[in-house]
Chain A
Amino acid sequence: MIEIYLAGSALIGTILFFNRGKVLNYGLIWLFIALQCTFAIYACMNYNQTESIYFTFDSLGIIMLLTATIISIPAVIHSWIYIEESEEKTPRSRATYFGALVLLITAVSAAYLANHIAVVWIFTEITTLSASALIYHHRNKLALEGTWKYVFICAISITFVFIGILFLSLSFAKGGSDDLSFKNLLIHKSFLNLSWLRLAFLFIFTGFTAKLGLFPMFTAGVDAKDKAPGPAAALLSSIVMCMGFVGIFRFYIVVANTPLLHWASLVVGIAAFISLFIAAVYMIKVKNIKRMMAYSSVEHMGLVMLGIAAGGIGYYAAILHIVLHSFVKSSLFFQYNQIYRVYKNKNIYQLGNYFKYNTTGAIVVLLAFISVTAMPPSGMFVSEFLIFRSMFESNQLILLLVVLLLLTLIIWAFAKNIFKLLFIPPVNFDETTVPVISAWRSVSQFILIGGAAYLGLNPPLIFVDLIKNSISLLPH
């Protein structure tokens, strides 16, 4: 089935690139969504089966695949609206956009399921290519700058991952086989040479941070989300970040089963803490609302990796948190397009009184704000609370205090801008040109935010089991 999925998506993507017909374009994109859903259902039915040697439908892969499938449906709907309302639309830019979208979702889905580090790496390369086509959608100077930075930093980071894989093969030289799949590495973990493994972990971790949006390579993602169209930015801040997480997490499981566990958690913890610090500093300063959302993603990835570093219940909380974050942050980026349509601006000084111009959208922003800052009725409160608990249990009280202080700053900065957007009237704003925005466009965001709250507060048993299975190989 995975061959059919990959070949089918590649075919649909190629036809989309070369076809300029509007009806056929939209028909094909829905055909792809149907294929994606079928594949996700097939993956669930073949739980823990391996296909085509390199792909396993394991728990982590299935959680992420379902998340990606759920998010890709509203992403296509909002892309459709976005392209149709865009003033500079041409058949060519539409075809490129949808072709790249299909390629991105396919590559990300395949990377989730890959059980071999080199295969994850190949699909990571493909996401760089497709994401750069999405970021360059507007074809102006600023978009070019964002694309160039993204491509360059991602190219360096995939080179880093490749160096890491080379070091891993050196570390595994005595293992007696040249199979670098995660399963085989775990079986032969006692043969791994620790000093090479250390280098391998450093390089692979640094490389995947470009996709995950963590220190040190986070800058590429922030610029990319700023310049990409809203629906594409939603995908970049949700499913692509999950892909970076999967790459790091699967290798972290291998490292955690060697004597390097403590050292690796220290590395992850330091990177996570610095990310939180950077996010706090920039969120206080930033005036561009889209960049503020992007920095908020950096903050949440920092929290996720703090959970991984703390261990214990933190592993569970980290996976829960990244799934919930994907739902909430993508809905915020979907809403961003409607904000931009009202104000034609993303500077916080020019925005305001959103309740007056688009009431339903304003409720979405308010709910998403409550979720992103992890206030109690939201689902992310649960996962964030569990992350703090894991830090408390691993006796990192001082770190926990500093993190809470940074989070307070972040909530303050976020709230200041969001409340300005929602309630305070903008200066010199011409109300006559405000378009009427249908309330139906906010439905998908309500579903995503509601789903996140449901998964956090009352997780179905099967979801809990899947998360528990995906962390079962980690030492407790």
Chain B
Amino acid sequence: MLHVLLIVFLISLFYMSIANRMSTYVNVLALQGILLFFVAFLELKSINTLNLIFILLETIIIKSIAVPAFLKYVLKRNHITREAEPYVPNFVSLIITTFIVITTILLSNTMEESYLDKMFFVVALSTLFTGLYFIASRRKIITHVMGYLIIENGVFVLSLAVGNEMPMLVNLGIMLDIFASVLILGLFLNKIGDVFKDIDVNQLTNLKDY
């Protein structure tokens, strides 16, 4: 069951790489939050109940309700167009995502010791690199934020893998999640949307060296 959830998580990355509309991205992020909720519920059996409730609340309330709602609000308020406007065709994105997943599977096979469930490792690392690829290949600043949220989800998967031995690290990861999301999204809501009316990274090129 755990593996099924993780594979669905991986498939959601493929779906995101070929999706065209901004609202699809937001929906997939919400879905990933729900998937993480079940993964955390199934994986973290041996930690204390209070801590578990905290982690589950984080996934369900922040990752799958608050952040997507906030993103939708920003999309609407700043009149951001529905198209994602990637620099590269979706087909190429799909190939690159596939390439990333295959590379992480190969990498996981070179790690000699199987102390960790390899599925967690593969899903976490491919999510991380897909997130980075998303940031590099999309044009709007808000898609950069979404890329960062994908990376956060990958990190969360990885922290769940060690969660039973070191629950402190899961809590630290959640702290990072909340802290960075508040900082980045807060900055976004308050300032970027108001100052840069047409939100596009091409507007962020005034700091240069000549």
Residue positions of A touching B, CB distance < 8 A: 118, 121-122, 125, 128-129, 132, 136, 141-142, 144-149, 151-152, 155-156, 158-159, 162-163, 165-166, 169-170, 173-174, 178, 193, 195-196, 223, 226-227, 282, 285-288, 291
Contact = CB atoms under 8 A, between A and B. Distances in A.
B210 A287 contact: yes
Given A148-B204, A151-B187, A163-B158, A285 B210 contact: yes
Given A141-B206, A287-B210, A165 B144 contact: no
Given A162-B159, A178-B165, 16 more contacts: A121-B172, A122-B175, A129-B179, A129-B183, A132-B187, A136-B191, A141-B206, A142-B207, A144-B191, A145-B206, A155-B148, A156-B135, A163-B128, A166-B169, A195-B112, A196-B111
From B110, B113, B173, name the one whose CB has the most chain A CB atoms within 10 angstroms: B113
Contacts of B57: none
B116 interface: yes
B192 A118 contact: no
Interface string B133-177: 001000001001000100110010011011001101100110110
A166 B159 contact: yes
Given A141-B195, A148-B192, A195-B113, A159 B207 contact: no
B180 interface: yes
A20 B196 CA distance: 30
B111 A149 contact: no
B87 interface: no
Main DSSP-derived SS at the B contact region: helix
Given A162-B172, A166-B162, A195-B113, A155 B209 contact: no
Contacts of A227: 207
Contact of B184 (A145, A151, A193, A286): A151
B180 A159 contact: yes
B115 interface: yes
Nearest to A198: B111
B172 A178 contact: no
8 contacts: A118-B169, A144-B192, A144-B196, A147-B187, A149-B204, A163-B128, A193-B113, A285-B210
A196 B204 CA distance: 37
A218 to B, nearest CB: 13
Contacts of A155: 148, 180, 183-184
Nearest to B181: A155
B173 A170 contact: no
Contacts of B115: 170, 173-174, 193
Contacts of B166: 169, 178
Contacts of A193: 113, 115
B151 to A, nearest CB: 6
A145 B207 contact: yes
Contact of A132 (B152, B183, B196): B183
Most A CB contacts (10 A, CB to CB) among B112, B184, B191 go to: B191
Contact of A286 (B141, B196, B209): B209
Closest 9 CB pairs of A and B: A286-B209, A155-B180, A173-B115, A178-B166, A223-B207, A145-B204, A166-B158, A169-B162, A195-B111
Q: Name the residue in A149, A163, A174 with the highest tally of chain B Cβ atoms < 10 Å from its Cβ.
A: A163
Nearest to A281: B209
Contacts of B159: 162, 166
A295 B210 CA distance: 13
A166 B152 CA distance: 13
Contacts of B158: 163, 166
Given A148-B192, A152-B144, A159-B152, A128 B183 contact: yes
Contacts of A145: 204, 206-207
Contact of B165 (A121, A156, A173): A173
B206 A195 contact: no
